């Protein structure tokens, strides 16, 4: 019996040979802080990205190993077989900051690999039943997210009809996922390993908005995240945000950085691009998260950002949170080291402990009740810098639908004065305002209010 994904075996073999749940309960440390995924509370910011959780057995296995946001592998509206082996080719690990270059294949996995699956899927009847099983068996405090992708009908020549059909197909999968018990949907708008529109949507902001709106209509209030690929250009990011933000709760990035894979004397995969994952894409992922957070703040779009790419330590998690992520997800390192989540939780606890004497970060987001406030509008507080010695916090308060009255009497001080004192001078009509809190740090405030 295996405890991890077997590279030498097919995707189907791995699907049918999931690890067994540990016999003894794994001790997973608490990760201090208030964490959420798209406004839903979770026990930690740690997730498994779409891919490694091939079915409910894999999902429940990783849920036991310290992960709280579990993304069920991308599914389709009809069964699709996987690309032939090799599906995972280890590559050299230098940081990839440009797409479509060539990377060198190596024999042993040292942290990075090229991924070549082609988004296979079992039949919808099978995955829908399986998600129901996962839902029924997932412990509380954890979130079940299903990754979906639309499939293009072969042979459709009319562009409008083709897009309409693709949007409908995305929406159907998303609706089925929610009906089966998913807390939310991650729509995969990026897969460098398929050349059709379903793999490249995020490069087309208007089309992305069109499909996102169709999915939103199909899933009502359930959370919706778009998974996007590598993007460096701020104007492209702004366009994508403008077209999609009315319909979504968050963005997950960076799917992969695409590259050709060379053995030295020949190109693998017939010279086609494949997605590089793991260590080699961490810098690209961090830069992209920071860029999107900057643009979201500038455009007053308080969306969740799920940081993905090359995470294998608590320090990496912190880097992503510092860059503006609300939560993170891992694929490669969790596959090669199933105990990584348990280790990361220990490391994150140590960071928190350390922070009592040093300036550090806080990152909180959630719906009102998580902060002890009643009502349904969402609130995100992102503290950019915290000094425990000076007992002050500065950063950005992003209010969506809240007014000064909601904070009345809460004791929180902005720039040295209470909300009540300041409510006439703060621009509450805006969604976002800078704050400085001199009344203790915000995480303490949140904890107090929860008790």
Ligand X SMILES: Cc1cc2nc3c(=O)[nH]c(=O)nc-3n(C[C@H](O)[C@H](O)[C@H](O)COP(=O)(O)O)c2cc1C
What is the closest distance, in whole angstroms, from the C-beta atom of residue 220 to ligand X in the complex?
23
What is the closest distance, in whole angstroms, from the C-beta atom of residue 425 to ligand X in the complex?
44
Sole window of 47-55, 91-99, 153-161, 261-269 interacting with ligand X (rule: CB under 6 A) = 47-55
CB 280 within 8 A of CB 95: yes
CA atoms of 50 and 27, how far apart (whole Å)? 24
Asked if 443 is part of the footprint of ligand X (rule: CB under 6 A), the reply reads: no
Among 28, 240, 277, 344, binds ligand X (CB under 6 A): 277
The count of other CB atoms within 10 Å of the CB of residue 190 is: 26
Number of residues that bind ligand X (CB under 6 A): 25
Among 103, 281, 325, 370, binds ligand X (CB under 6 A): 281
Asked if 73 is part of the footprint of ligand X (rule: CB under 6 A), the reply reads: yes
Among 50, 60, 166, 219, binds ligand X (CB under 6 A): 50
Sole window of 200-208, 308-316, 352-360, 368-376 interacting with ligand X (rule: CB under 6 A) = 308-316
Asked if 311 is part of the footprint of ligand X (rule: CB under 6 A), the reply reads: yes
* Torsion 246-248-254-256 (CA) sign: negative
Among 296, 323, 331, 348, binds ligand X (CB under 6 A): 331
What is the closest distance, in whole angstroms, from the C-beta atom of residue 429 to ligand X in the complex?
38
Q: If you search the block for the tokens 């939103």, which residue do you land on?
A: 216
CA atoms of 35 and 192, how far apart (whole Å)? 31
Asked if 119 is part of the footprint of ligand X (rule: CB under 6 A), the reply reads: yes
What is the closest distance, in whole angstroms, from the C-beta atom of residue 190 to ligand X in the complex?
7
CB 334 within 8 A of CB 341: yes
Which residues 336-365 are close enough to bind ligand X by CB under 6 A?
none
Asked if 330 is part of the footprint of ligand X (rule: CB under 6 A), the reply reads: yes
Bridge pairing between strands 304-308 and 327-330: parallel
Site pattern 187..206 for ligand X (x: CB under 6 A): -x------------------
Asked if 256 is part of the footprint of ligand X (rule: CB under 6 A), the reply reads: yes
Which residue, judged by CB position, is nearest to ligand X in the bound state? 51
What is the closest distance, in whole angstroms, from the C-beta atom of residue 383 to ligand X in the complex?
26
C-beta of 288 vs 333, nearer to ligand X: 333
Q: Which residues bind ligand X (CB under 6 A)?
A: 49-52, 73-74, 115, 117, 119, 147, 188, 227, 255-256, 277-278, 281, 308-311, 330-333
């Amino acid at each position: 019996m295996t405890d991890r994904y077997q590279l030498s075996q097919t995707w189907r073999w791995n699907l049918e040979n999931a690890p067994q749940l540990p016999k003894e309960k794994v001790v997973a440390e608490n990760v201090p802080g208030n964490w959420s995924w798209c406004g839903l509370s979770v026990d930690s910011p740690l997730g498994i990205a779409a891919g490694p959780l091939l079915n409910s057995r894999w999902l429940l296995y990783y849920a036991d190993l310290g992960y709280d946001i579990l993304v069920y592998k991308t599914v389709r509206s009809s069964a699709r077989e996987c690309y032939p082996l090799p599906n995972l080719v280890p590559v050299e690990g230098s940081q990839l900051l440009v797409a479509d270059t060539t990377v060198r294949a190596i024999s042993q996995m040292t942290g990075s690999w090229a991924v070549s699956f082609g988004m296979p899927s079992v039949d919808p009847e099978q995955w829908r039943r399986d998600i129901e099983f996962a839902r029924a068996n997932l412990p509380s405090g954890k979130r079940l997210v299903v990754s979906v992708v639309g499939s293009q009908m072969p042979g459709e020549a009319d562009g409008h009809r083709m897009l309409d059909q693709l949007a409908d197909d995305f929406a159907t999968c998303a609706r089925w996922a929610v009906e089966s018990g998913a807390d939310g949907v991650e729509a995969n708008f990026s897969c460098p390993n398929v050349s059709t529109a379903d793999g490249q949507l995020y490069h087309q902001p208007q089309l992305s908005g069109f499909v996102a709106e169709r999915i939103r209509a199909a899933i009502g209030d359930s959370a919706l995240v778009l998974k996007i690929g590598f993007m460096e250009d701020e104007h492209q990011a702004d366009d994508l945000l403008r077209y999609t933000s009315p319909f979504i709760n968050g963005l997950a990035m960076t799917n992969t950085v695409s590259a050709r894979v060379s053995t030295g004397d020949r190109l693998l995969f017939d010279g086609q691009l494949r997605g590089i994952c793991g260590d080699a894409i961490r810098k690209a992922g961090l830069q992209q998260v920071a860029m999107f957070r900057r643009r979201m703040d500038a455009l007053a779009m308080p969306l969740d950002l799920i940081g993905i790419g090359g995470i294998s330590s608590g320090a990496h998690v912190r880097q992503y949170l510092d860059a503006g992520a609300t939560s993170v997800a891992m694929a490669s390192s969790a596959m090669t080291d199933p105990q990584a989540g348990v280790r990361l939780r220990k490391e994150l606890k140590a960071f928190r402990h350390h922070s009592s004497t040093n300036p550090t970060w806080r990152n909180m987001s959630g719906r009102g009740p998580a902060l002890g406030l009643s009502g349904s509008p969402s609130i995100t507080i992102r503290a950019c810098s915290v000094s425990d010695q000076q007992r002050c916090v500065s950063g950005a308060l992003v209010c969506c639908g809240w007014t000064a009255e909601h904070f009345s009497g809460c004791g929180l001080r902005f720039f040295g004065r209470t909300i009540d004192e300041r409510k006439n001078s703060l621009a509450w009509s805006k969604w976002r305002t800078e704050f400085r809190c001199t009344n203790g740090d915000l995480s303490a405030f949140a904890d107090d209010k929860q008790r």
